[in-house]
Amino acid sequence: MDIRYRIQGGTSLRGDVSVSGSKNAALPLMAASVLCQGETVLKNIPYLRDVKAMLGILEFLGAETSFHDGTVRIRTHNLQSKPIPAELVSKLRGSIVLLGPLLARFGVVEMSYPGGCVLGKRPVLAHVQALTQMGAEDMSSDEVLHLQGTLRPGRIVLPEFSVTATENAVMAAALVEGETRIEIAAAEPHVQAVEQCVRAMGADVEGIGTHTVTVRGRDTLSCVEFTTPSDYLEAGALIIAALVTHGKVRLHNVEEEHLLFFLETLRRMGAVLKYDAKEKTLFVDGELSSLKAVSAQTNIFPGFPTDLMAPMGVAMTQARGVSRIFEVLFEGRMAYLYELEKMGAQVEILNSHQALIIGPVQLRGRTVASNDIRAGAAMVLAALCAEGETTITDVRYIERGYDHLDDKLRSLGAKIEKIEFLSPEEVAAGVTGKAVEVAVKREEVIR
């Protein structure tokens, strides 16, 4: 089934919308349930394809799970560590965060190499090095990740500021009695959530939100109830949606501290924003905003988030002057610019990491593709401010990272429709006639 969005651009977004829980926090928090024997309750979990995929992996390992109204319950009484096949992890890069918890609890972990978005080289070296520094033996092959051994506390020096490697190290150290010091630790909000969660489970954690984290683990941890933080990446995309459509939108459940650099960049760009710390709401006035060119370079937290660079690229097409983007963290993240060019954007790609965007331009509706989760969101934003109708293919990427994005935009006045096409193979398998296009009701979508 090929699911697409059809968007009629040119409508100013108006109204209130709530930001969902963070996918990037939800997946490692679900993995943290492996560390204890009992029931873990996680609240504010977004309804996403990746979340359901992670639940499927946990169920394969013997967990009992439920997901209702944003609350996930994971019961790990009968959990075991066994080889996780490729069909369960090939589409979920986030499954890598099971390495640390499974190894710490069972002394062995084996899985096929995780998949996910194609963002250039994203090796597992940092994960393996972190765990081997704790005493694990690396038995991996070209096809399978395989670590085993009894972990011991000590000092871990990560080879890079890897978010998921930091999460693996923190979770593993939490279940190892003694003190483990993690250097070159990532400090993103979702990493902080994992650190706060294992602390609630009984580990002593110092340095939360810094690049040096000390974990004093225990040989037994308690299952907890924990609330997932809001998704600052979803918030960033919605902010830009309001700006490029010249709308007026109030976002609820926003943590300003998670977006400081991004919001400051937007203010330098001419965005009119007002944050209410008590209510945790952010008002975006796209009518009063007058965007001008800026330069933006991705960096580790609290710098400019790499996952917001593609949406920022769309904002730059509507800004006056020549903007410059510099993606320093990942290869392969410039592909969305070719899709923007189809819509009329004036782009000069300098190399695989840098580009110039000249604006403002009136984007025009076209058929464009989602190359990855964040590029897909950028295409939605471009479609909202484009003239005419845009069709976005490969929506499955978007639905891996954004909780009911189409519904939220529709509540703000966007003219967005979700449609599905039966593939020729599905038609041949039993559907008569040619491929049929049908409207999809939210409750009928298999995410």
Please give the positions annotated as active site: 117
CA distance 24 to 50: 10
The alpha carbon of 326 is separated from its chain's Cα centroid by a whole number of angstroms, namely 20
| Torsion sign (Cα): 26, 32, 36, 37 | positive
CA distance 123 to 144: 13
Q: CB neighbours of 360 closer than 8 A, spacing ≥ 6?
A: 291, 317, 318, 319, 320
CA trace torsion 363, 369, 370, 375 (10° rounding) = -30
CA-angle at 218, arms to 207 and 25, nearest 5°:
50
CA distance 180 to 435: 57
